[in-house]
Structure 1
């Protein structure tokens, strides 16, 4: 199925969850926020949220500094 991640089109397996997308993008263990179709998805819901054809996903990472 086709989705858009941070403005880039991607082809992924049907039924992919938000958690699996994080792993696919090698972002596991990082502090990040995910927005799907302009709605923030709480991290506690990543594993239970199946992505759908045409979803627009924005992922931002927290970067510390000082």
Structure 2
């Protein structure tokens, strides 16, 4: 299992990547910050960054604001 944002458990599959996790959880926002086991993963590495069984993934939406 992969734990996402300390809320969801998704089944792990051989060859799973950060991109697969984002798709499984239906994250569609384009501005995300993702970490796997506390280490940041750059967006250009989502498709190739492996996720292992038992990993902890955090996904945060980046939101801008102000005047």
| TM-score interval (norm. to shorter) | 0.7 to 0.9
Helix, strand or coil at the partner of 1:30: coil
Which structure 2 residue ranges, 5 or more long, are not aligned? none
Which structure 1 residue ranges, 5 or more long, are not aligned? none
Give the match for residue 25 of structure 1: 25
User: Taking structure 1 as the reference length, what is the TM-score of the superposition?
Assistant: 0.82
Distance of 2:27 and 2:6 partners within structure 1: 17
In the alignment, does 2:58 pair up with 1:58?
Answer: yes
Q: CA RMSD in A?
A: 1.5
Give the match for residue 6 of structure 2: 7
CA displacement at 1:9 relative to structure 2: 4.3
Number of positions where the alignment pairs a residue of Structure 1 with one of Structure 2: 65
